[in-house]
Structure 1
Amino acid sequence: MDSAAHTSLAGRLIPLVIQGRTHAGRAELRPRGELVHGCADVLDRTLTTLPDGVRRVELDMADVVFMDTAGLQFLDLLDDYGRRRHIPVTTTHWSGQPRRILELAGLDTTDPLSTAPRPPGPGAATPGGSAVARERAEQLHVLREEVDQLRRAIVSRPVIDQARGILMAAHACTSEDAWLILRTTSQLSNTKLHTVAAALTAGTGTDGPPPPQEVRTALRTAIRSCLR
């Protein structure tokens, strides 16, 4: 049993595949790839192929390497599937960035579909509650910054890929060489990598402005250094 689709991340097509098998009334599924736009459609196609006799669905999430808010829709679909059929559905073995997104969303990182424990009733004492709350707030702040950085990286990646292509065509170099040139230019000119890539891309247009002088100087030095 395989379901696959192509989802776009950073301007590239990356396959999301859900492999699985059924045995003794249990469906064992293993998603591979990224939970981004389109992942719920892949899951829906997988679930519709499950036989009627399935009494339990287990997903091993160890091979999921990236997740954005579309991953929460993925989980909602699973939860709805289990509730409508009155069968248990579990998602386990979360790790890396997807696990941190679950933490940010306040979900159980062992199995976000499990029932969360009820909060203590009124008047129940929670030792060190204020300290725990402060620590939790700090963790959420760090996680939000990390997610923002990932979003900015996704947005800027197409421009960087375009700049790499320009360098590869102009200097007959490899993709790795072009990447090294961009990084070196960024470091020498003390300019953000995305800004360097955007300036280089804009400068190739017919009426595009040339890159700033410091970027041009750093770029020439980087090309000589990296393509020796």
Structure 2
Amino acid sequence: MPEPAHSAQPLTAPDTRPPCLATIEPVVAGDRTVVTCRGEFDIGAQELQPELCAVLDRSATGVDLDLDEVRFCDCGGLNVLLSLRREALDQGKTVTVRTCGPVVGRLLDLTGARELFMTGTPAHSGGSDTVAAAPVPAPVLVPFPGPGPVEPSPTVAVDEELRLEVDQLRRAMRTRPAIDVARGIVMASFGLSTEDAWTVLVTASQNTNTKLHHLAQDLMGAVHGAPVPEEVQRQVAAAVARVREGNAE
């Protein structure tokens, strides 16, 4: 008697995408739309990209962001805002940051991206860190070429410095997605918070003398069955134990 045939079950890869821990609330204000952002803007916030673009499409002249209630923001979250800004430029619109807390403000300053979200109009009041309007530079008089080098104008120097900082940010963003996914894996595997998972990754990276994005690639490979170096496993476990001991005190 033939054995009953069993239907093959499709193999599905586990969803390793980090969860979206951010929300947005758009409010139309005349020809612009004010978008209040809350929560944590990391790589998971990419899920909000279609909704943000839809809000931009419906606005007449652009979007003003209220980031006061953003508790955490890294390069993954900033990439979402930069993508929205690029889309606005393509539509002849603008994206500004009305207000932001110290978390976002520090990231904007460190990356030199604050100037990208300024306009020539006065900033809206409110918030703990209001983004001021960009000053209009005075005309620069270029002297007639003569003996000796011509000093570059201050405006040119500032523009060049900003371009360099943005280039550095883009290079960082190429490796940051893997790091954010690895952080999500540590959060899910050990039941840790965002901050504790970040501490575990940084500690393990330092103790194994491994670059953070290489460590992240190792952890991402483990999800698909690739072996993780034993030293990395030991250091991750030790870092998790230290974090839990600190939380228990």
Q: What is the aligned counterpart of 1:44 among 57, 63, 69?
A: 57
Q: Distance in 2 between matches of 1:143 and 1:213?
A: 37
Q: What is the aligned counterpart of 2:142 among 122, 126, 134?
A: 126
Give the drift of 1:165.
1.4
Q: What is the aligned counterpart of 2:181 among 158, 167, 180?
A: 158
Count of aligned positions: 184
Q: TM-score, normalised by structure 2?
A: 0.53
Gaps spanning 5+ residues in structure 1: where? 1-8, 48-56, 80-88
Q: CA offsets, 1:23-70, max 9 Å, x none? A: xxxx563122389732231222355xxxxxxxxx78544438741233
Q: TM-score, normalised by structure 1?
A: 0.56
Q: What is the aligned counterpart of 1:74 among 59, 84, 88?
A: 88
Q: Distance in 2 between matches of 1:196 and 1:91?
A: 35
2:62–2:88 CA contact under 8 A, matched in 1 = no
User: Paired residue for 2:208?
Assistant: 189
1:102-117 correspondence runs (5 A): 103=115, 109-111=118-120
1:1-228 correspondence runs (5 A): 12=20, 14-21=22-29, 27=31, 29-33=33-37, 37-38=49-50, 39-46=52-59, 60-63=64-67, 66=78, 67-77=81-91, 79=93, 93=98, 96=105, 97=108, 100-101=112-113, 103=115, 109-111=118-120, 125-126=141-142, 130-132=152-154, 133-168=156-191, 177-203=196-222, 205=224, 207-209=225-227, 211-228=228-245
Q: Distance in 2 between matches of 1:201 and 1:70?
A: 28
User: Paired residue for 2:74?
Assistant: none
Equivalent residue letter for 1:44: D
Q: Distance in 2 between matches of 1:145 and 1:16?
A: 28
Q: Distance in 1 between matches of 2:200 and 2:229?
A: 16
Name the CA shift for 1:223/1:30 in 2 (closer, same or farther; >3 Å): closer
Give the drift of 1:145.
0.5
CA-based RMSD: 4.4
1:92–1:111 CA contact under 8 A, matched in 2 = no
Q: Distance in 1 between matches of 2:233 and 2:62?
A: 55
Q: Secondary structure at the match of 1:110?
A: coil
1:94–1:110 CA contact under 8 A, matched in 2 = no
Higher RCO (CA-CA < 8 Å; seq separation 6+): 2
User: Paired residue for 2:13?
Assistant: none
Q: Distance in 2 between matches of 1:61 and 1:190?
A: 39
Name the CA shift for 1:73/1:90 in 2 (closer, same or farther; >3 Å): closer
Q: Distance in 2 between matches of 1:68 and 1:222?
A: 34
User: What percent of counterpart residues are identical?
Assistant: 21
Give the drift of 1:151.
4.5
2:183–2:194 CA contact under 8 A, matched in 1 = no
Q: Distance in 1 between matches of 2:203 and 2:194?
A: 14
